[in-house]
Amino acid sequence: MGKKPEELKIVSCHLGNGSSVTAVHGGKSVDTTMGFTPLDGLIMGTRTGCVDPSVVTYLADKHRFTPSEMSDYMNKKSGFLGVSGISSDNRDLTSAAEQGDARARLAKDMLVYQIKKYIGAYAAVMNGVDAVLFTGGIGENSHDVRAEACGDMEYLGIKIDEAVNSGTRGELCKISTADSTVQVWVVPTNEELLIARDTLALIS
């Protein structure tokens, strides 16, 4: 983008089997959707994402779950898998939704809605946004999720180049139009490199 991180307001959407959205203001994370554990925030492959805390006590009472069973239910049997009843894999949901499966379509709609909501919320937190990034398995490879999440966001200055977006998978690429005041990028993730850098910094 030709700017220093300190000059930018970025919303990073890391979407995969585990997902999070992060507000990065001046190179520092100021908010993220994950909370005390990775269970909070967006709907994920098998995780609930954000739910009313009363849901926990309601379901535990209804099904006579122990605390451990309740945790297992929310972390391993919910999310895409629970809503769709098919799979925790976005690729399976996409295929099923294209064939008319309503529950698979609902799971995808829930993800897209939540991404859009957090982009707007974090733009408010940072008093604007310069760029939106998509990364992770879904973020890098699912052009439909990117397009839908950024759809009807012209008020914020986000405009997607549909041709570029639909042809981009797993590569560093700007997918916003030339007149989009907010740049939208696909950025391949490299968590192993970041872990290595952080480890080196700690031991040095």
Q: What is the pLDDT of residue 191?
A: 87
Q: Are strands 183-186 and 131-135 parallel, antiparallel or unpaired?
A: parallel
- Write out the two tokens for 5: 């991180």
Burial class (CB within 10 angstroms; exposed 0-12, middle 13-18, buried 19+) of 186: buried
Beta bridge partners of 22: 12, 32
What is residue 163's three-state secondary structure? Answer: helix
pTM score of the predicted model: 0.92
Per residue in 67-100, pLDDT tens?
A: 999 999 999 999 999 999 999 999 999 999 999 9
- Write out the two tokens for 69: 């069973």
Beta bridge partners of 160: 176
Per residue in 50-65, pLDDT tens?
A: 999 999 999 999 999 9
Selected from 3.40.1010.10, 3.40.50.11540, 3.30.420.40, 3.10.180.10, the CATH number assigned to the domain covering 5-203 reads 3.30.420.40
Phi, psi of 91 (to 5 degrees): -65, -40
101-107-109-111 Cα dihedral, nearest 10 degrees: -160
Burial class (CB within 10 angstroms; exposed 0-12, middle 13-18, buried 19+) of 106: middle
pLDDT (average), residues 157-179 = 96
Per residue in 94-149, pLDDT tens?
A: 999 999 999 999 999 999 999 999 999 999 999 999 999 999 999 999 999 999 99
Per residue in 165-175, pLDDT tens?
A: 999 998 999 99
Rg (CA), the chain: 18
111-128-175-90 Cα dihedral, nearest 10 degrees: -10
Per residue in 184-199, pLDDT tens?
A: 999 999 889 999 999 9
